[in-house]
Structure 1
């Protein structure tokens, strides 16, 4: 059986990954994939990948273009994948008899370049799979396209003006969109938090209002003496760098001096808690590594389902949820600073400022 070259194997792998991305993006590969794969021709495989990748997302073109010349060279020099492995082919004909000199250092450099470009394509593939899983795209627009369109739009309260009409015409021409798809893009922009901010629309933290954050600050102040913790809280929130580590015994003594009435604060938190609010706190706590706001929304929706189930069961099950979230959030001495940091990272800068201002008021 014919042995595939390492680069042919890599292109096969890329086509497999592209097939997965095609499903996520709802942009299926052309039906001829089985015929192309069956040919075992690296040039045909590469051309198939390049053409279909560009149809799924135009960002692929920037990464595939540098490899075109390399793949063509490989296809011409090593079509069977055996030229550099063996001295003779399967018909006992010596390889590369028409090549007088091969610079091994140049060859190594080119192979390394090919390897790096394949790596970039794989990284882009993973990123795009992540992006398309947000569900924010249309038939012809990726999420990145929609963000770029939002950047071209005036503030929402200016829609209907001449500036909006001009932007609309530019966008329609640039992306070759029908009126229906353009309207869909505008709807997505207004509903998506990341793009809604760009056109001046107000956004909210899933499950939590500004009033909730203020009330949580007050509950926290029942548990902890803000005056005692003031300097450390300000350092955490405002300082560009923190002081060095302290002895654990010193920190414990310090926190003991700052503690007020955790029991009373816990009761107030218990009265405040609802499934939606607890889901909001939990989703925010885990928001640090999000690339897209949809991840936060998805996490909130999952936690809300869990909280609703627990609340419907009631009793010890529901109380355990409340106690667990209390213990991991508002009951902690540096909860306000941690909340400000989480809000900032999630893009809720206005809410972060409100929490900080109210904390030190």
Structure 2
């Protein structure tokens, strides 16, 4: 019985030689495909290094079979990943992943449907099309390199004659590289579409581009705006209904609303409350933003005493700061601080800011119900962060509140300390990776 301790397919000593399979690892199409491609590459490298005694004529079959099977698995995995985009767009994606082995059919299904769902697939699809077509032509169903004869007893590969291992390595290596790009794009789009910023006709990047093409919202009541809308409908090949849907997305999106001149208010917190927080925080922490070069000089013990004094002073200051905030804090104010601080880690999708605030304010409301000590600890958790200003300013730039971010940078004179500041100002810090642009 497979799985018992005496089975061929079971764990044993030494434990480092045990491979995790089944539920002990949860492998999918991607992991299986990597196993087959790695095996193919190892054999190719052994042949090219001339370290194999076995005939090259014999090794070509397992090499090409592993390559071909790896590609079939990669394409099936790509279809599985594409299904998340299809579901987000209410698009029916029906394909028999377990029953189909014709690599040409699998590829055509993925190519056609992916490009219908999002134009960004066209670029990476064009990179892999030629080599996959080569595989489909020579071994469509996975039988050519598996058996010497077809089901009709015809000898395989009679019209090929020879296969060069150097060529195999180059072509297959490039294909793997490009299939990795496809995998990355699939994972990116899975997350992107989950945010909901798209319409049936326009992807997220296209809506971003549309927002930049729109005049400020204050000009929308002018007669000229009607002509502008007509021009935009022609440019994006959409109707008035699709344009209206896209504009609604723009008006309720943190970054895009700022592009049209009407930024959405921050959650739970207003600018004056942010300034008040940093007015207390800055005297204790702005030195931490400056680069230091610690050294063990002759003044080491004097500096040690100074450090102890600063610790005592900081403890006293923390109590003083808390007395300033104790009466001013509300669950919304505190949640607003927490959300701005932690959103900096997930700054590419501003939709997450709203969800993060909802969960944070719910948690902090429970602190207020339990007692003031919990509220104090939650506040001090943010106040003690030496990167509080850095994170919050990053979030403000990401959310389209550039004016407020610049006001904080100017008020506390930290522009020279924030090495990423120019990248935030230009938007580079929040830009998409190359494979996800359109």
Structure 2 length-normalised TM: 0.69
Q: Does 1:140 align with 2:193?
A: no
2:254/2:400 contact within 8 Å kept:
no
Map of 2:274 onto structure 1: 213
Map 1:207-356 → 2, pairs under 5 A: 207-220=268-281, 226=283, 232=287, 236=289, 242-245=291-294, 249=304, 252-253=307-308, 255-256=310-311, 259=314, 261-290=317-346, 291-311=348-368, 314-316=369-371, 319-331=372-384, 335-336=388-389, 339-344=392-397, 347-356=400-409
Equivalent-residue separation in structure 2 for 1:11 and 1:342 (angstroms): 38
Map of 1:79 onto structure 2: 140
1:210/1:351 contact within 8 Å kept:
yes
Sort the Cα spacing of 1:206 and 1:250 in 2 relative to 1 into closer, same or farther, 3 A.
farther
Residue ranges of structure 1 left out of the alignment (5+ in a row):
none
Give 1:330 shift. Answer: 2.0
State the SS of the aligned residue for 1:261: helix
Deviation per CA, 1:42-77: give whole Å up to 9, x if none.
Answer: 111111111111222111111112222222211110
2:341/2:388 contact within 8 Å kept:
no
Equivalent-residue separation in structure 2 for 1:51 and 1:142 (angstroms): 17
Give 1:163 shift. Answer: 5.7
Map 1:61-80 → 2, pairs under 5 A: 61-80=122-141
Give 1:359 shift. Answer: 4.1
Map of 1:150 onto structure 2: 211
Structure 1 length-normalised TM: 0.82
State the SS of the aligned residue for 1:286: helix
Give 1:256 shift. Answer: 3.6
Equivalent-residue separation in structure 2 for 1:281 and 1:218 (angstroms): 14
RMSD: 3.0
Map of 2:434 onto structure 1: none
Sort the Cα spacing of 1:87 and 1:244 in 2 relative to 1 into closer, same or farther, 3 A.
farther
Map of 1:54 onto structure 2: 115
* Aligned length in residues: 340
Give 1:93 shift. Answer: 4.3
State the SS of the aligned residue for 1:243: coil
Give 1:343 shift. Answer: 3.6
Equivalent-residue separation in structure 1 for 2:313 and 2:412 (angstroms): 15
